[in-house]
Amino acid sequence: MPTSHRWEHDLVTSLSTEPGNLDTAKSKRAVISLRGVEKHFPIREGTLQRVVGQVRAVDGVSFEIRPGETVGLVGESGCGKTTLGRCIGGLAPPTGGKIYFRLSDEDAAKLDVVEATPESERTKEHLKQVERIDTDHRIDQLSGKAWRTFRRNCQIVFQDSFSSLNPRQLVKDAVGRPLRVWNEASGRDLTERVVSLLESVGLGRQHLYRYPHQFSGGQRQRISIARALALDPEFIVLDEPTSALDVSVQAQILNLLHALQKERGLTYLFISHDLGVVRLMSDRIAVMYVGKVAEQGTAMELFEDPRHPYTEALLAANPDITSEGSEMRGLRGTLPNPAKPPEGCRFHTRCPVATPVCGWEVDDAVAWLQTNETLLTGLTDVQRRSNFDATLVFKDEASASAVGAAIQNGDVPAPMRAALETFSAEGGKVSMKFSPVEPVQLEDIGGGHLTACLLHTSQRDRI
């Protein structure tokens, strides 16, 4: 590899610099850059296992993680946050988009230029640049030495320490394994390295020759952290590291993680569903909903001045021990199916402040009709021209007009009714057409605070 020397150089400088100066030495690059990352899982059916659809677990996520910072990733279960963590950790190749490791700002700017150019106008020079950056930094195209550097410097701590530690391995073997794989140490030297790792996470020499089942949940999580630290990585993905722990133990682990970060200049991606924990641990936070980022900003901005109804809903639903007499408020409905995410803004089906232009579609109308016991019993056929335009065929005139009356007069969400372009219920058929809406994009509303809510972006005029 002709370019590999730059990696080595990078590694050497990062190791030789004092931890205190680490930030300034590396601030000219991001540790991890995501550009439109997608991870779709195929849905297979039948004997031939034909692909009939895609579960869009992660559907176009872009953000950067800078050296020394902690980026929090929050969302409900099933929103794709763990899948994204696995993609970043190199455990699951993304099906679309690019993940770069140690991408310099200079190269990032070059990529921006290329991406801004329409595909037909891209020159050979452009393509050459992209190819060079990809082979050097894009994690699913790294090879040889570059790939090994990435693996060394990117470690993961998993949620469930029961299943992430091999029950048949002694602590010494589990924590020492990365060192042996990399031929970093052996024999007595290895034992001493493991002891010092254990000591750095609050365990000690007496724990060397024990099995995972002999430890409590908090201690097992400490072992996992020690293992992640073994190769002195730059970046650690923390996938719900404390969600299986009690509060008093959680506090111990969070304090430990912070102390380690300060001591070793680590960069964290902190994945959690617990807003209190994320707020405490993160510098910047991305809120995910059904595979997309809904809002992104500093921890302060997000908690003090949320600019997306979903973030507001999460905050309102989160019980807070310090608040006086606040009411918890939940969200109606359930998380949409990620195999067929809603049109427009993905949150519109549950949003308390939804507008007619938020992406109402035929499925929303059908979902609403399904909550009624009798309305859809006479349905015989659905002629769907697009997600916004369909005709429901009923077996008789009466059931069609009942559905028509329900949609026009029932307690349908008002913005949904307002979004109807044409609607008719005649001759045993109900036709509806909603105005088509483009997917909502993240938009910067000042100082790196991004939101995907129409109410807060320049799209506001459309309402």
Instruction: Give the residues lining the site for another protein (CB under 8 A).
Output: 76-77, 216-219, 246-252, 254-255, 258-259, 262, 273-277, 279-281, 303, 313-314, 316-322, 326, 328-332, 334-335, 370-373
DSSP annotation string for 334-399:
-PPPTTSPPSSSTTTTT-TT--TTTT--HHHHHHHHHTSSSTTTTEEEEEEEETTEEEEEESSHHH
**Tokens at residue 232, please?**
């002195």
Q: Is 37 or 269 the residue whose CB approaches another protein more closely?
A: 269
Q: How far is the CB of 227 from another protein (least distance, A)?
A: 21
Q: How far is the CB of 230 from another protein (least distance, A)?
A: 22
Return phi, psi of residue 126, to 5°: -55, -55
Q: How far is the CB of 367 from another protein (least distance, A)?
A: 10
Give the whole-angstrom CA distance, residue 91 versus residue 164.
14
> Sign of the CA dihedral 70, 71, 76, 78?
negative
Q: Is 78 or 97 the residue whose CB approaches another protein more closely?
A: 78
Cα–Cα distances in angstroms (integers) from residue 63 to residues 71, 152, 269, in the given order: 10, 22, 11
Give the whole-angstrom CA distance, residue 349 versus residue 360.
8
Q: How many CB atoms lie within 10 A of CB 243?
A: 14
CA angle 335, 336, 340 (to 5 degrees): 155
Cβ-based neighbours of 97, under 8 Å, separated by 6 or more: 34, 35, 36, 37, 38, 60, 61, 62
Q: Is 124 or 332 the residue whose CB approaches another protein more closely?
A: 332
Q: How far is the CB of 42 from another protein (least distance, A)?
A: 21
Q: How far is the CB of 133 from another protein (least distance, A)?
A: 34
Q: How far is the CB of 247 from another protein (least distance, A)?
A: 5
Q: How far is the CB of 335 from another protein (least distance, A)?
A: 8
Q: Is 122 or 273 the residue whose CB approaches another protein more closely?
A: 273
The residue with tokens 């019993």 is 377
Q: Is 11 or 316 the residue whose CB approaches another protein more closely?
A: 316
Q: Is 85 or 94 the residue whose CB approaches another protein more closely?
A: 85
Q: Is 259 or 418 the residue whose CB approaches another protein more closely?
A: 259
Cβ-based neighbours of 136, under 8 Å, separated by 6 or more: 3, 6, 7, 142, 146
Q: Is 347 or 388 the residue whose CB approaches another protein more closely?
A: 347
Q: How far is the CB of 22 from another protein (least distance, A)?
A: 18
